Amino acid sequence: MSRAAFIAGQKACNRVPYAVTCRALGVSESWFFKWHDRPPAQARQRRAEVDQAVADAFGASKGTYGSPRIHRDLTEDGWRVSEKTVAQSMARQHLIARSKKRRKGLTRPDKRKRPFPDPVQRDFTAPAPDVKWCGDMTEIPADEGKLYLATTLDLFSRRLLGYATSARPDAVLAGQAIKMAVATRGGNVAGVIFHTDYAEAGVKPRNPGLPCSGRAS
């Protein structure tokens, strides 16, 4: 560190007057102010400009871009800078890209299971009540941990017929939601088509009264 930089640092960090530090080091105040007031060197000026551009690009990405993507953005904006320089600027400014979290689905197809027939064929409408139902399972973040909600819906009125919550997304939870829906309709579900991906995920309700995809008998 140069003497001039030390004098400036004492003022900034410890509030020591310039005059006091100059006397202690045996330099004149005029010499110090000549250094202090001079324009920054070209290299330092360039580095400051690059740092600002990198910080702006990083902020625009909400902290998700790394040096390759920021370098590409700066190049597209007309900057002549290398990816290494961008990486050094990010390290200098402690800018660390965070990866975007991809939401993981609760269900995944089980390729070992024979798929159920799909009478719905992506037509999620119904001409009357109790013709088509659908079920789903959702993860709800809570202070105590994860909570899972299973639901059963009538596709005609969009009425929620049954629901259940649990700390585990298992077959018991799915079955409870379907059983509530069956009870809501008085126990008679003959002919109702129930569509869900529980079976594809290997989450098959235990004797809920309806198949996982198909027509109830």
pLDDT digits (tens, 9 = 90+) for 3-50: 888 888 888 888 889 899 899 888 888 888 887 776 666 777 888 899
Specify whether the CB–CB gap between 167 and 147 falls below 8 A. Answer: yes
State yes or no: pLDDT of 100 exceeds 70. no
Q: Where is pLDDT greater, at 163 or 216?
A: 163
Please indicate, yes or no, whether the overall pTM of this predicted structure exceeds 0.75.
no
What integer pLDDT is reported at residue 68 of this predicted model? 92
What integer pLDDT is reported at residue 55 of this predicted model? 93
Calculate what percentage of the chain has a pLDDT beyond 90. 25
The mean per-residue pLDDT over the stretch 170-185 comes to 89
Question: Each residue of 181-206: pLDDT tens digit?
Answer: 999 988 888 888 888 765 443 444 44
Q: Determine how many CB atoms are found less than 10 A away from the CB of residue 138.
A: 12
